[in-house]
């Protein structure tokens, strides 16, 4: 066991730097030489990452249809000399770096899909695919992870373990993460990291928060039916539109009056379809919406209340109803130990004052949560706001971000993987030593 420890410690400064007990204010936890090497390397990759991002931005593909995106990723990984597995969960790609030293496996992940939005930007690299746009920054995520692959490849000989690079399809609604897991993408991995571009934060800021940072993203639909009839003769029928109107108003009372006030919840009715003419009482109305919560109890309370209120319309308005609940993504819950690694790495890259917390969870969703249900990890946010960009949020047709974020993201992902390998290796060595 001693010899194993000696071998472990002698494998380089790389490990040493990450074995330091927690960060001391103002003191870097990373090896300055390694950090400098990566910083120099990133300079070589900066232009290439922008090129990749712009190519993907011009050629966006919807979830589970990222065929050309996957081809580009596979060819870039192959040309770097990585082992590449394609066709994982359809269009997913996994690249593998095997260090020459034994050790754990750490995964880093990017999502690949675009959104069904017609881009309104006019810059030369705007989408060439009508009605499809990278409006969430996933083009940037792919470029960053390819950048991280190049950085890590340079250090492959020093890796105390393996790094798995996961390019995942269909984050925007279809839950590609779960399918990647089902097809073995994180088998053998002990920790996972990812980052999301975020224009709410300044370029050069990284947001790291342990614990819960996003919400359950469940959806519902409600069908209301009646016989229909003449708009002038309500006494002969039941009115689905009146029932729907009252139901929408009643739903507002669930969050206000029925759930715990300290447990966040949002119920949004996002669409309503019913009726065909001004003088016809509709025979059918369909409502659809989303329920965002952060605790299983509040989630169940919202679902049950919605169902109860829907059914109550039957008595009130002499209609029939059907309530459908569709489970969405679970919340992202960052592991505290992984978040500590992320915070240390972020502080090294952007400086302690640029590492931000996220004290209140977002009620948005992220299917990275499926990975975190299997192994510990951390999702961070990379600030990408810039004063020269117009004000356009994610998922809007004029969304864009400062491409300076690509280098920040690539450095973070590469360094997080290196640091996690060292930390996990040290834990294993300690566990063996005490056996």
CA 250, 253, 258, 260 torsion-angle sign: positive
Minimum Å gap between C-beta 381 and Zn ion is 11
- Contact between 189 and Zn ion (CB under 5 A)? no
Query: Looking at beta carbons only, is 8 or 201 nearer to Zn ion?
Result: 201
Contact criterion met (CB below 8 Å) for 416 and 63: no
Of residues 101-140, which lie at the interface with Zn ion (CB under 5 A)? 136
Cβ of residue 120: shortest distance to Zn ion, in angstroms?
17
Which pairing describes strands 83-88 and 229-230: parallel, antiparallel, or unpaired? unpaired
Nearer to Zn ion, 8 or 371 (CB): 371
Q: Are 245 and 320 in contact (CB under 8 A)?
A: no
> How many residues contact Zn ion, by CB under 5 A?
1
CB of 115 to Zn ion, least distance (A): 7
Question: Residue with the closest Cβ to Zn ion?
Answer: 136
Residues in 330-359 at the binding interface with Zn ion, rule: CB under 5 A: none
User: Mapping DSSP to helix (H, G, I), strand (E, B) and coil, where does residue 281 land?
Assistant: strand
User: Cβ 141 to Zn ion, closest distance in Å?
Assistant: 8
Residue 133 or residue 136: which is nearer to Zn ion going by CB? 136
DSSP 20: S
User: Is residue 388 classed as helix, strand or coil in its secondary structure?
Assistant: coil
Sheet holding 206-207, edge to edge: 83-88, 92-98, 162-168, 105-111, 189-202, 377-385, 206-207, 355-356
| Token reading at 364 | 């948005």
Nearest to 75, CA basis, from 93, 96, 55, 56: 93
| Residue ranges in 197-216 that form contacts with Zn ion under rule CB under 5 A | none
The minimum distance between CB 289 and Zn ion, in angstroms, equals 18
The 287-306 site mask, x for binding Zn ion (CB under 5 A), equals --------------------
Residues 6+ apart with CB under 8 A from 361: 212, 213, 214, 215, 264, 294, 331
Residue closer to Zn ion by CB (options 158, 198) is 198
Please, which residue, 34 or 136, has the CB nearer to Zn ion?
136
* CA–CA dist 153, 255 (Å, integer): 50
If the CB atoms of residues 136 and 341 are measured against Zn ion, the closer one turns out to be 136
Per-residue binder mask for Zn ion (CB under 5 A), 387-406, x = binder: --------------------
- Secondary structure in 3-state letters for 137-168: CHHHHHHHHHHHHHHHHHCHHHCCCEEEEEEE
- Closest approach of Zn ion to the CB of residue 138, in Å: 6
Q: Which positions are annotated as active-site residues?
A: 113, 171
- Closer residue to Zn ion (CB): 8 or 329: 329
Q: What are the Cα distances from residue 421, in Å, to 65, 107, 349?
A: 33, 10, 18
Q: How far is the CB of 299 from Zn ion (least distance, A)?
A: 21
Tokens linked to 87: 């066709």
Instruction: List contacts with Zn ion (CB under 5 A).
Output: 136
């Amino acid at each position: 066991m001693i010899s194993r420890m000696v071998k472990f410690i002698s494998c380089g400064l790389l490990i040493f730097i990450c074995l330091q007990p927690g960060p001391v204010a103002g003191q870097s936890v990373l090896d300055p030489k390694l950090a400098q090497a990566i910083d120099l390397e990133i300079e070589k990759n900066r232009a290439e990452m922008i090129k990749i991002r712009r190519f993907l931005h011009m050629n966006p593909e919807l979830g589970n249809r990222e065929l050309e995106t996957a081809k580009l990723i596979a060819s870039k990984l192959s040309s770097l000399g990585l082992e590449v597995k394609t066709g994982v969960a359809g269009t997913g790609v996994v690249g593998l770096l095997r260090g020459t030293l034994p050790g754990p496996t750490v995964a880093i992940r990017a999502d690949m899909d675009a959104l069904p939005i017609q881009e309104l930007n006019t810059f030369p690299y705007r989408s060439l695919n009508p009605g499809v746009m990278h409006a969430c920054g996933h083009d940037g995520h792919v470029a960053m992870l390819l950048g991280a692959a190049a950085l890590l490849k340079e250090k492959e000989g020093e890796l105390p373990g393996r790094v798995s690079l996961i390019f995942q399809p269909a984050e925007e609604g279809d839950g590609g993460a779960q399918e990647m897991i089902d097809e073995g993408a994180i088998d053998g991995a002990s920790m996972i990291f990812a980052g999301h571009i975020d224009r709410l934060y300044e370029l050069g800021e990284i947001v790291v928060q342990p614990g819960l940072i996003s919400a359950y993203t469940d959806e519902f639909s409600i069908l209301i039916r009646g016989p229909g009839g003449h708009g002038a003769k309500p006494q002969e029928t039941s009115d689905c539109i009146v029932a729907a109107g009252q139901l929408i108003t009643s739903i507002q009372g669930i969050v206000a009056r029925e759930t715990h006030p300290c447990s966040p919840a949002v119920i949004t009715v996002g669409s309503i379809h019913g009726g065909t003419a001004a003088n016809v009482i509709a025979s059918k109305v369909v409502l659809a919406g989303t329920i965002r919560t952060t605790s299983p109890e509040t989630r169940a309370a919202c679902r049950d209340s919605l169902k109860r209120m829907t059914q109550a319309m039957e008595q009130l308005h002499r209609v029939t109803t059907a309530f459908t609940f569709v489970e969405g993504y679970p919340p992202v819950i960052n592991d505290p130990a992984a978040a500590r690694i992320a915070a240390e790495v972020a502080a090294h890259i952007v400086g302690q004052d640029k590492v931000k917390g996220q004290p209140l969870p977002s009620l948005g969703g992220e299917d990275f949560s499926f990975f975190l249900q299997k192994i510990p990890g951390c999702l961070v946010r990379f600030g990408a706001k810039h004063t020269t960009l117009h004000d356009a949020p994610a998922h809007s047709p004029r969304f864009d971000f400062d491409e300076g974020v690509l280098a920040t993201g690539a450095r973070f992902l590469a360094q997080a993987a290196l640091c996690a390998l060292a930390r996990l290796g040290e834990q294993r060595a300690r566990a063996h030593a005490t056996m």
